[in-house]
């Protein structure tokens, strides 16, 4: 095991040594389901999907927990604005997120807990914090006393005296210090509430993640992930309340970069045109996944339609080689496991070394592109065995990144049956075109090619005869 990961808490890249040898527990802050996902949201899903895949290929048994925040100020505001029940807004958008994760080929988490299903665990954690002098109840709410925890600010690298007040406006008069944050929000008329020993109310955002992470992964677990925008206050508050309560909590903190638009972090209004549902009508889902996953997970992405188109074209070049090699030499002996993942032994050493170096996907993709170049050269030289060897290696590497064009979910059996039918029909037309050319009736030959083009099929003449593909 030589994997090294950048840990936000220490600001260093360090060896990943799991708590229990052979296993890895990962908690990822999932969606606050107040709106359908734009690519800024789903980028986190793709980045951590690559991490999960790499941990598995590295031989670890992974427990992946990604939560759903299904009660929150923003959900209540949306529900209010549209006159729907809060739970209907949460359900609808949770389904939209699930669809987006699925359509981009993210492996499902082992458990996807919802905040509202974990109030008893939150009550237990609040009690531990009150009993140990780290939290206090006031005016119906319960607040974390930041002065009681001397490591407050360490994760985000801030000194408490420079911190702004916490975001809980309603607790202003109840708090001992404006930077104290709400563990539990007291009931307000018109809002949903749950009973607690401190009165009715609803969960604070930070508390729910601590309660769910430790319920499913244990008091101490390996990796906590999320976007860089969550480091403060969300993760700072999570680690403060969990450590203050006596839990070890996360041993490594991983944060993905943001998607920016015109230099700004994507917000709901900026992101509307970049909803996942909208973008997958412009490029294929696998191309969108390539675009989001090709950048190092800690780097920001500056979105532009041109960059998206470039990403899609880069993927099509790789895919084109894999498909041509399969046509020329068959799909080979490549075998993936149940999750579609390859054995580590099938991967080039340089590719594995890149991913072991804090998931350096750009360097790993350079190895893929090199293999594609060599494979294309082998195809051009008629070296089928050489092309097949490169194709197997390319497919194994792509599978680690969730991008193998010949594996699920990108290749479905229904689609490949249909391709066989199209193949037969196109070859009838191509035979007629060859016959027209043989009798030097070039207008007829060109007309057949144009009719195929109009039907969405592009014909290319190669030394080995005509080949076709779907127009893109
Ligand atoms: Zn969280």
Rounded Cα–Cα distance for residues 254 and 459 (Å)? 47
pLDDT, average across residues 246-267: 91
Measured in Å, residue 209 CA sits from the centre of ligand 1 at 5
- Average pLDDT over the chain reads 93
Rounded Cα–Cα distance for residues 342 and 54 (Å)? 10
Measured in Å, residue 226 CA sits from the centre of ligand 1 at 8
pLDDT at 1 over 60: no
pTM of the predicted model as reported, rounded to 2 decimal places: 0.88
Measured in Å, residue 278 CA sits from the centre of ligand 1 at 27
Measured in Å, residue 234 CA sits from the centre of ligand 1 at 6
Among 331, 425, 317, smallest CA distance to 372 is for 317
Tell me the C-alpha to C-alpha distance, in Å, between residue 167 and each of 22, 140, 180, 185, 401: 40, 17, 9, 12, 37
Comparing 214 with 335, which gets the higher pLDDT?
Answer: 214
Tokens of 15: 């060896």
Rounded Cα–Cα distance for residues 190 and 76 (Å)? 10
Measured in Å, residue 30 CA sits from the centre of ligand 1 at 7
Measured in Å, residue 23 CA sits from the centre of ligand 1 at 22
How sure is the predictor about 470, in pLDDT bands with cuts at 50, 70 and 90?
confident
The answer to whether the CB of 63 falls within 8 A of the CB of 217 is yes
Measured in Å, residue 471 CA sits from the centre of ligand 1 at 43
Measured in Å, residue 46 CA sits from the centre of ligand 1 at 17
The answer to whether the CB of 375 falls within 8 A of the CB of 394 is yes
Measured in Å, residue 63 CA sits from the centre of ligand 1 at 17
Rounded Cα–Cα distance for residues 431 and 151 (Å)? 75
Among 287, 175, 156, smallest CA distance to 229 is for 156
pLDDT at 201 over 60: yes
Rounded Cα–Cα distance for residues 378 and 387 (Å)? 5
pLDDT at 197 over 90: yes
Ion ligand 1: protein residues whose beta carbon lies under 5 Å: 29, 209
Measured in Å, residue 237 CA sits from the centre of ligand 1 at 10
pLDDT, average across residues 378-404: 96
Tokens of 17: 């040594």
130 burial level (CB within 10 Å; 0-12, 13-18, 19+): middle
pLDDT tens digit string along 17-44?
999 999 999 999 999 999 999 999 999 9
The answer to whether the CB of 260 falls within 8 A of the CB of 300 is yes
Measured in Å, residue 207 CA sits from the centre of ligand 1 at 8
How sure is the predictor about 394, in pLDDT bands with cuts at 50, 70 and 90?
very high
pLDDT at 466 over 70: yes
The pLDDT assigned to 11 comes to 97
pLDDT, average across residues 187-193: 94
Measured in Å, residue 2 CA sits from the centre of ligand 1 at 28
Indicate the DSSP class of residue 38. Answer: B
Q: Which residues pair with 324 in a beta bridge?
A: none
The answer to whether the CB of 70 falls within 8 A of the CB of 97 is no
Measured in Å, residue 238 CA sits from the centre of ligand 1 at 8
The answer to whether the CB of 176 falls within 8 A of the CB of 145 is yes
Q: At what angle do helices 384-400 and 361-380 cross, to 10 degrees?
A: 160
Measured in Å, residue 206 CA sits from the centre of ligand 1 at 6
Measured in Å, residue 456 CA sits from the centre of ligand 1 at 46
The pLDDT assigned to 416 comes to 58
The pLDDT assigned to 341 comes to 93
Looking up tokens 């839990």 gives 247
Measured in Å, residue 5 CA sits from the centre of ligand 1 at 20
Rounded Cα–Cα distance for residues 430 and 305 (Å)? 36
Indicate the DSSP class of residue 191. Answer: S
Alpha carbon dihedral 55, 46, 256, 296, in 10-degree steps, equals: 80
Q: Which of 9-13, 219-223, 237-241, 433-437 has the lowest mean pLDDT?
A: 433-437
Strands 220-227 and 23-28: parallel
pLDDT at 306 over 90: yes
Rounded Cα–Cα distance for residues 153 and 27 (Å)? 21
Measured in Å, residue 286 CA sits from the centre of ligand 1 at 27
How sure is the predictor about 408, in pLDDT bands with cuts at 50, 70 and 90?
confident
Q: What are phi and psi of 63, to 5 degrees?
A: -110, 115
Tokens of 86: 């809060």
Helices vs strands, H then E, count in the chain: 15, 15
Tell me the C-alpha to C-alpha distance, in Å, between residue 85 and each of 13, 321, 329: 45, 51, 57
Measured in Å, residue 315 CA sits from the centre of ligand 1 at 33
Comparing 170 with 116, which gets the higher pLDDT?
Answer: 116
Tokens of 297: 């997970």
């Amino acid at each position: 095991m030589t994997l090294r990961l950048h840990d936000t808490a220490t600001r260093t890249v360090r060896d990943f040594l799991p708590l229990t040898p052979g296993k890895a527990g990962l908690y990822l802050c999932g969606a606050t389901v107040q709106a359908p996902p734009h690519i800024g949201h789903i980028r986190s899903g793709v980045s951590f999907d690559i991490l999960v895949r790499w941990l598995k290929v590295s031989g670890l048994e992974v427990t992946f927990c990604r939560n759903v925040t299904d009660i929150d100020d923003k959900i209540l505001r949306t529900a209010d604005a549209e006159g729907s029940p809060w739970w209907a807004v949460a359900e609808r958008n949770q389904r939209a997120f699930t669809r987006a994760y699925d359509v981009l080929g993210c492996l499902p988490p082992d458990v996807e807990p919802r905040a509202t299903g974990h109030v008893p665990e939150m009550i237990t954690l609040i009690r531990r914090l009150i009993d140990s002098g780290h939290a206090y109840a006031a005016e119906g709410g319960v607040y974390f006393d930041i002065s009681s925890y001397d490591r407050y600010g360490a994760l985000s690298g801030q000194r408490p005296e420079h911190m702004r007040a916490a975001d809980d406006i309603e607790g202003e008069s109840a708090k001992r210090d404006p930077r104290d944050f709400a563990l539990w929000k007291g009931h307000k008329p018109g809002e949903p509430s749950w009973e607690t020993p401190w009165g009715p109310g609803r969960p604070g955002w930070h508390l729910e993640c601590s309660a769910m992470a430790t319920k499913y992964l244990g008091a101490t677990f390996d990796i906590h992930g999320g976007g860089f925008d969550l480091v403060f206050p969300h993760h700072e508050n999570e680690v403060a309340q969990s450590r203050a309560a006596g839990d070890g909590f996360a041993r490594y903190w991983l944060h993905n970069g943001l998607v920016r638009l015109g230099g700004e972090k994507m917000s709901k209004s900026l992101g509307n045109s970049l909803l996942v549902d909208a973008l997958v009508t412009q490029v294929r889902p696998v191309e969108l996944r390539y675009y989001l996953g090709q950048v190092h997970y800690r780097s920001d992405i500056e979105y532009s339609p041109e960059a998206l188109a470039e990403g899609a074209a880069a993927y099509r070049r790789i895919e084109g080689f894999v498909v041509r090699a399969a046509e020329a030499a068959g799909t080979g002996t490549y075998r993936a496991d149940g999750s579609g993942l390859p054995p580590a032994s099938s991967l080039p050493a340089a590719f594995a070394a890149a991913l072991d170096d804090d998931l350096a996907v750009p360097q790993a993709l350079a190895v893929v592109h090199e293999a594609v170049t060599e494979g294309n050269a082998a195809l051009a030289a008629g070296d089928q065995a050489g092309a097949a060897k490169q194709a197997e290696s390319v497919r194994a590497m792509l599978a680690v990144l969730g991008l193998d064009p010949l594996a699920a979910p990108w290749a479905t059996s229904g689609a490949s049956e249909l391709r066989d039918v199209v193949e037969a029909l196109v070859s009838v037309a191509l035979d007629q075109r060859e016959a027209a050319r043989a009798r030097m009736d070039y207008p007829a030959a060109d007309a057949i090619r144009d009719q195929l083009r109009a039907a969405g099929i592009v014909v290319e003449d190669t030394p080995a005869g005509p080949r076709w593909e779907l127009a893109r």
